Amino acid sequence: MLQHEQISPGEAEQEWLSALLDGEIDDVEGDRLLGRLSQDPALARRWAEYCLIGDALRGDALVQPGLEDRLHTALAAEPTVLAPVRRRSRQYTRPVVWTAAAAAVAAVTWTIWTALPEHPAPAQMAARPEAVMIQASHVMPYLHAHQDFSQGVVAQPEMRFTHVSLVGLEGGR
Amino acid sequence: MTDRDADLLLVERVRNGDKRAFELLMEKYRRKIGRLLSRMVRDPEEVEDIAQETFIKAYRALPQFRGDAAFYTWLYRIAVNTAKNHLAARNRERLTVSDVMSEDEEGGEDRYAAPDIDTPDAHLLSKQIAYAVNEAVEALPEELRTAITLREIEGMSYEDIATFMGCPIGTVRSRIFRAREAIAAKLRPILGTSEDQRW
Amino acid sequence: MKPAACWLTGLTTPVLLAAGALAAQPLPNQEAALWLQRMADSARRLSYEGVFVFNQGDVMHTLHIVNRGTGPLKESLLTSLDGNRREVICRQGESLSLVAEGGGVRTERRLNSRHFPDLLPANAASLTNWYAVRLGEMDRVAGLDCRWLQLTPKDAYRWGYVLCAESASHLPLKAMMVNEAGRPLLQYAFTEVRIGTSPRAGNPSRNLRSTDPLARGVPTEPVTVRQLPPGYTRVAAVKRKLPNRPNEVEHWVYSDGLTHISLFIEPATRPVETVRGESAKGMLNLLTRQVGNWQVTVLGDAPWPAVEAIATSIAER
């Protein structure tokens, strides 16, 4: 870790609010910390700032004059909801069929390739470590054209790109 | 644990009688919901009405929320339904082919103009905030900028970010926290006392 | 007790089909084929009207659909209920979109327009070659009884699908594309639907054909794909313009009936870097590389091995 990466003990304690917003704290700790958050106006203010930052980065930074107060007032007027939940186990069991399918997957892949000796060995993908900044707009026209066939609703997923090199094919062809 | 699970923790607290926890949820999603609604409904006052109705409906319906769907997905559905009911009541016109293709149309009709969501002051403040946030992000050291971007825009988990950046999860957590603090510091002068007054 | 409304599962949790709820054994081919064919036919032949929600990652869209079923006048009209005002008229092999933008309306012609709930191919029975079909439990979606069906890929070259078909009509009410761990990648669900309604007398539809075709047949094929993953055949090959791009490219589409992988071929005007792309959760995969004097891009709603297999077996003719 570089010099300026060292964190003071006080800072480390304060990190939890940021991690809590991202859902990166375990349940037990999370519950306790939420308790603190509910009680402390300064912490709540910071929560609000962090939410605003995220919304602004995503292009949602609307100032909604009056809405904040309206919501607060309306909620205050509501009878308190009391419908306690027993904490469920958060272990989601993977359905049995999928485990079987996943195991079959690896076997079938290799079988396909080795059954065809007359073809050259499949190209290996070697990923170079640096990520490539490719404009999403570069890929959008392909995606739109592709979606003519795959699905009629146009969605614009976020994509990540990396340079790769192909080993085992002649001369970069 | 994911973003979605953090919401469930908040929901549990609300169901146990902690109203403030619902305030935290509203803070997290009110702009997102506002943006969704302002694309369906043009009148900014109506957007506010529907947003308020949405959140109150959600609060009242929380005992029926089973938690096997993401909270935001559930909230989104309530917002869309509430908006639809308002629109149905107003008997909204439908866009039709023949309307569009008719030669008489000048094309200057204001029917589809972008919704005017803010008062001039609010619009200005909104721009100031966006500008300040972007400026603050640009000024961040690269590793902090990457971390906050991957988290807030790409929606990656800490674990995925750690893999991507080649560092421990604890470092990711710290970088995101420090990025947020640096950006918040630049925001506070703009927000002034507006955030203080209620809390 | 299941709620009457339709809840979408969060995209970070696996499909919560309890182990006991699914028959352990896949259906025999004939029975599976029957189920799939009935579902495929119903989406095409029935008239229905409803609202559905589409969910992929953080993206959610709500759409209203009217489908006029039988005969040569089969046509569907989709209207977006959020985002920009957009209407799409779909007919066999093409569609016309009207999008409200700025101060006016933009029209967009698209090749084909596959949409929920019409997601299964016309020859749905052939899917049993590549997917194991299992019957699941009964459920209620949009207030109607329906039965779950799970399509598990038999190899690594395609994603899985889970569909819930309405009991009487077999119309898919809910459809999900899932990965090997059972996590939803993409999902559609009706929130309300009326099946068998005769659609209200609408305005006479504009003739979609125009003198300026969006695409034309392919006269030459500059490259060849030497090897395809099992089940994939070429279902389209056209020369066309890409949206928002001036150049013409060749666009080929491979499909196993459910999964679609596109191949784009255009002249390489300068050396092409080999680039791999993937979307969040790996649902969409892409590879661009140079083959001889051509730049080829393979892009599919398929796991990486399928895109890789096609992309690495392209050779100049």
Distances (CA, A) of B132 to A61, B32, B110, B186: 11, 20, 33, 7
The pair of structure tokens assigned to B95 is 């866009």
Sign (positive or negative) of CA dihedral A137, A142, A148, A150: negative
Q: Is the pLDDT of residue C159 over 90?
A: yes
Q: Decide if A98 and C116 are in contact by the 8 Å CB cutoff.
A: no
According to DSSP, the residues that pair with C67 across neighbouring strands are C48, C76
Residues of B in contact with A51 (CB under 8 A): 27-28, 31
Greatest pairwise CA separation for chain B in angstroms: 64
- Nearest-angstrom CA–CA distance, C276 and A130: 12
pLDDT-above-70 percentage for chain B: 78
Ranked by mean pLDDT, which of A37-41, B11-15, B24-28, B34-38 comes out on top? B24-28
Tell me the three state secondary structure of residue C311.
helix
Mean pLDDT of all residues in C255-274: 90
**CA of C106 to nearest chain B CA: how many angstroms apart?**
9
What are the CB-based long-range contacts (under 8 Å, 24+) for A34-38?
Answer: A34/B9, A34/B10, A34/B13, A34/B21, A35/B13, A37/B24, A38/B13, A38/B18, A38/B20, A38/B21, A38/B24
Q: How do residues A36-69 score in pLDDT, each as one tens digit?
A: 888 888 898 999 999 999 998 887 767 787 888 8
Q: What is the pLDDT of residues C90-129, one digit of tens each?
A: 876 677 777 777 667 777 777 776 788 989 988 898 999 9
Q: Which of C245, C259, C314, C316 to mutate to test the interface with A (most CBs of A within 10 A)?
A: C245
| CB within 8 Å: A27 and B35 | no
pLDDT at C69: 72
Structure confidence at residue B9 (pLDDT) = 83
Q: Which of B87, B77, B50, B192 is nearest to B132 (CA)?
A: B192
Q: Report yes or no: C36 and C54 within 8 Å, Cβ to Cβ.
A: no
Interface test with A, best of B4, B12, B186 (most A CBs within 10 A): B12
Instruction: Tell me whether A50 touches chain B (CB under 8 Å).
Output: yes
Q: Which residues of A touch B199 (CB under 8 A)?
A: 41-42, 44-45, 48
What's the predicted TM-score (pTM) here? 0.58
Count of A-B CB contacts under 8 Å: 214
Positions of E strands within B14-101: none
The amino acid present at B89, given as its one-letter code, is A
For residue A88, the chain C residues in CB contact (below 8 A) are none
Task: Please provide residue C154's backbone torsions phi and psi, each rounded to the nearest 5 degrees.
Answer: -90, -5
pLDDT category of residue B98 using cuts at 50, 70 and 90: very low
Instruction: Say which residue, C57 or B143, is predicted with more confidence.
Output: B143
pLDDT tens per residue across span B80-94: 889 888 887 775 554
Higher pLDDT, C10 or B44: B44
pLDDT of B128 above 70: yes
Q: Which range is least confidently modeled, C3-7, C263-267, C309-313?
A: C3-7
Mean pLDDT of C253-257: 93
Interface touch A140/C244, C-beta < 8 Å: yes
pLDDT band at residue C14, thresholds of 50, 70 and 90? Answer: very low
Which H/E stretch holds residue C194?
strand C184-195
Give the separation between CA C78 and CA C99, rounded to whole angstroms: 12
Burial (CB < 10 A; 0-12, 13-18, 19+), residue C186, is: buried
Q: Are B186 and B134 in contact (CB under 8 A)?
A: no
Q: CB distance from A40 to chain B under 8 Å?
A: no
pLDDT of B139 strictly over 80? yes
Contact C79 B36 (CB under 8 A): no
Q: Are strands C223-225 and C314-316 parallel, antiparallel or unpaired?
A: antiparallel
Tell me which of A136 and C215 has the higher pLDDT. C215
pLDDT band with cut points at 50, 70 and 90 for residue B184: very high
Q: Name, in order, each residue with C-beta under 8 angstroms of B138's C-beta and a sequence gap of 6 or more.
A: B145
Q: Is residue C162 a contact partner of residue C176, using CB atoms and an 8 Å limit? A: yes
